[in-house]
Amino acid sequence: MQHNPKKINSELNPNVSVDCVIFGFDLEQLTVLLIDRGEISSAFGPRMALPGNLIYDNENLDMAANRVLDELTGLKNIYLEQVGAFGDPDRIHKESDREWLKSIRAEPEARVITVAYFTLVPMSDYKPQASSFAKNADWIPVSEIKELAFDHFEILQAAKEKLKQKIKIQPIGFNLLPEKFTLSQLHRLYESILDKPLDKRNFRRKIQKLDILTSLREKQRGVPHKPSLLYEFNEEKYQELTQTGFDNFGF
Amino acid sequence: MQHNPKKINSELNPNVSVDCVIFGFDLEQLTVLLIDRGEISSAFGPRMALPGNLIYDNENLDMAANRVLDELTGLKNIYLEQVGAFGDPDRIHKESDREWLKSIRAEPEARVITVAYFTLVPMSDYKPQASSFAKNADWIPVSEIKELAFDHFEILQAAKEKLKQKIKIQPIGFNLLPEKFTLSQLHRLYESILDKPLDKRNFRRKIQKLDILTSLREKQRGVPHKPSLLYEFNEEKYQELTQTGFDNFGF
DNA sequence: TAGCTTTGTGTCAATTTTACACTATCCAAA
DNA sequence: TTTGGATAGTGTAAAATTGACACAAAGCTA
C-alpha cells in the first residue's frame, strides 16, 4: 500500500475519492444516474456504478463532488449534500472490481476512502448522450437497482435514507422538479422518496399550509384528462419560514 | 493507558484521520472530552482539541474511531455514530497548528481528510487522570467551548447538530446517563441537547408514553429535597418499539 | 356524446400538543 | 421539633393536527 506522493500543486490524492448519488425524478419515480462500466467488468459483477473519482489535493470535498457532477453532466449549482464516508479496507478490492480499477487508476491497489454525496437534479436538465466521453450514463429507477459495483449499493441505500430523513425536515424535493409542476407530481415525488402512499387530500393540505408555493394561473396542456394547475416553488417565502424556524413536515 | 500496539502489515495512512466528539453529561449539562495540547501551541491558538488520529490501513473507519476512543479512555462498546467527512485542503495547516503537528506526525504537511464521529459516554465511566501518557484530557461543558484547534470547532458544531437531530428520532440519550437515573435528569439532558427549555409535565408524559422506562422501586438518597424515583432504560421494550416502527419524538 | 382518466375539494372524529400551578417529600438549620 | 428551602410529581381544558374517506368537474379520445 502506498500513499501520497507529495503534492506539487494539485495531484490526485490516491487515498480519497468522492462518489455521487445523482437523484432525478421522471415524474413517476425516483431515479439515479449510473455509469455503465461496460463489458469488461460484466463477466465478474455488476456493470453499473456510481459516478465518482479521486479528489485533487487542492480542492475540498464539496468541490470534488461538484466537479464529478460537472464532468459527467455539465451541470453546476446543483443541490448537493454529504452522506458520509465509507472506508472498509477492502471496499473496492472484490475480485470483480479489481480488473476495472486497473484500467482507470494509477494505483489500483491503494486503499481508498470515499466520501459519498447525494445531489438533486431536475431530470430534464440532463439527458444522457449515448457515450459522452466513453462514459455511458443512464437514469435508472431506484426501485430497479438490485446491485452495484464496489460498495455502491450500500452507498445508494445510505443516500436514500438520508434523503428520506432530510425531506421530512426541509422541502428540498423541489430541486428534483421542473420550475412549473403540479401538486400531483409533488405528491408522487414524496411518495417515491418516502416509499409509502400518502393520502392525497392530507398531502395537499399539509403542503399548502406551508405557504411556499406560488399558484400560477396556468394549466397543464395536452393531457387526456382534467388538466392540473401549475405551481412554482417560492424561494422567498421559504427563506422567511426557515428564519422563523420550522422543523418538521411530519410525513 | 496504551493499547493496540501496531499490527504488522498495517501502516498509518497519512491522508485520513478520525476525530471523536466524545459527549458526556454531568447531570447538569452536556460536556465534551477534549485534549489539552499544552503550552507548545498555546502561544498561537487554542490549546484544546478533539481526540483523533490517523487511521491504519487495515482498519475500517468505525474501528479507527473505536480505537481512538479506547486509547484515550479505555472504554469499549460505546455508542458511536459518524458525523461526516471534513476535508478542506488547509484544515490543519493554520500557522497555529503547524508546529504542534510537526511534533506528532511523520508527515505534518500531508493533506488530511478527517472523518468525524460522535460518541455517547456515561460520564461516570471515565474520570480523566491528570496526564495519562502526556494526553491531558478533560470534560468541558459544551456551552463554554468557544474555539478549538484545527477545524475542530466546526466539527463540534456539526456533531451537536447531528446529535440534536438524532435524539428527536431515537432515544439514544440513555447512553449518556448512568444505569439508574431520574426523570429530571433525563429532562435536563434533553434540554441541554436540544438547547431549549421543555415543559416538565409534557416531557414526562411524552417519555412515559413511549413505555421504554422501567420504574425501579427505589428512591434517590441524600438529596436535600424530595427524592426522585429512579428508572432504568428498558432495552427490550425499545427493540419491540423500533420493530413496529416509530419515527419521531417530536420535541 | 359517452366513456376514460385524473384533478380538486370538505368534514368529522381521534389524537396530539400546549399552557399552566399546587401539593408532597425530604433535608438542614434554627 | 419546627420551619424553610428545594425539587418531585401530578391533571385538565382548549387548540391544533392528523387520518380516514367519496364524489363532482374538466379535458381528451374514440
Q: Note the pLDDT tens digit of each residue in A4-24.
A: 444 446 899 999 999 999 999
Write the pLDDT tens digit of every residue in A54-108.
Answer: 999 999 999 999 999 999 999 999 999 999 999 999 999 988 888 889 989 999 9
Three-state SS for A68-127 is HHHHHHCCCCCEEEEEEEECCCCCCCCHHHHHHHHHHCCCCCCCCEEEEEEEECCHHHCC
Strands A52-56 and A12-25: antiparallel
CB–CB contact A7 B111 (8 Å): yes
Distance B200 CA to D6 C1' (A): 16
Asked whether residue B225's C-beta has any atom of DNA/RNA strand D within 7 A, the reply is: yes
Nearest by CB to residue B113, choosing from A16, A58, A89, is: A16
Mutate to test the interface with A, among B7, B8, B15 (most CBs of A within 10 A): B15
- Do the Cβ atoms of A150 and A97 come closer than 8 Å? yes
Between residues B247 and A185, the one the model is more confident about: A185
pLDDT number for residue A129: 80
Nearest by CB to residue A82, choosing from B85, B169, B248, is: B85
Burial classification of residue A11, based on how many CB atoms lie within 10 Å of its CB (0-12 exposed, 13-18 middle, 19 or more buried) = middle
State the smallest CA–CA distance between residue B215 and chain A in angstroms: 31
- Do the Cβ atoms of B57 and B16 come closer than 8 Å? no
pLDDT number for residue A250: 60
Question: For chain D, which bases have at least one atom within 7 A of a protein Cβ?
Answer: 5-12, 17-22, 25-29
Mutate to test the interface with B, among A3, A59, A194, A249 (most CBs of B within 10 A): A3
Residue A132 CA: distances (Å) to CA of A36, A69, A136: 12, 13, 7
Question: Once rounded to an integer, what is the mean pLDDT over residues A133-158?
Answer: 92
Tell me the pLDDT band of A134, cut-offs 50, 70 and 90: low
Which of B124, B152, B128 shows the shortest CA–CA distance to B138? B128
Distance A182 CA to D27 C1' (A): 16
Three-state SS for B58-82 is CCCHHHHHHHHHHHHHCCCCCEEEE
Between residues B160 and A3, the one the model is more confident about: B160
Asked whether residue B250's C-beta has any atom of DNA/RNA strand D within 7 A, the reply is: no
Consecutive H or E run containing B188 = helix B183-194
Q: What's the gap between Cα A134 and its chain centre?
A: 21
Asked whether residue B227's C-beta has any atom of DNA/RNA strand D within 7 A, the reply is: yes
CB–CB contact B61 A13 (8 Å): no
Nearest by CB to residue A59, choosing from B82, B89, B248, is: B89
pLDDT number for residue B6: 44
Nucleotide with smallest C1' distance to residue A222 CA: D28
Question: Once rounded to an integer, what is the mean pLDDT over residues A22-50?
Answer: 88
Question: What residue spans of chain A are helical by DSSP H?
Answer: 39-42, 61-73, 95-104, 152-167, 183-194, 200-210, 235-244
- Nucleotide C19: nearest residue by CA–C1'? B199
What is the percent of chain A with per-residue pLDDT over 70, rounded to a whole number?
Answer: 88
Nearest by CB to residue B60, choosing from A57, A60, A87, is: A87
- Do the Cβ atoms of B47 and B38 come closer than 8 Å? yes
Amino acid at A33: L
Model confidence at A122: pLDDT above 90: yes
pLDDT number for residue A26: 96
Chain A residues within 8 A (CB-CB) of chain B?
1, 3-4, 6-7, 13, 15-16, 55, 57-61, 82, 84-89, 111, 113, 115, 165, 169, 248, 250
SS3 A32: strand
Which residues in chain B come in under a pLDDT of 70? 1-9, 40-44, 130-134, 243-250
Those residues with Cβ within 8 angstroms of residue B90's Cβ, 6 or more apart along the chain or in another chain: none
Burial classification of residue B180, based on how many CB atoms lie within 10 Å of its CB (0-12 exposed, 13-18 middle, 19 or more buried) = middle
Model confidence at A145: pLDDT above 90: yes
CB–CB contact A58 B113 (8 Å): no
- Count of pairs with CB atoms under 8 A, one residue in A, one in B: 72
Between residues A207 and A44, the one the model is more confident about: A207
Which of A50, A77, A45 shows the shortest CA–CA distance to A63? A77
**Rg for chain B (alpha carbons), in Å?**
20
Nucleotide with smallest C1' distance to residue B227 CA: C26
Tell me the pLDDT band of A133, cut-offs 50, 70 and 90: low
Asked whether residue A197's C-beta has any atom of DNA/RNA strand D within 7 A, the reply is: no
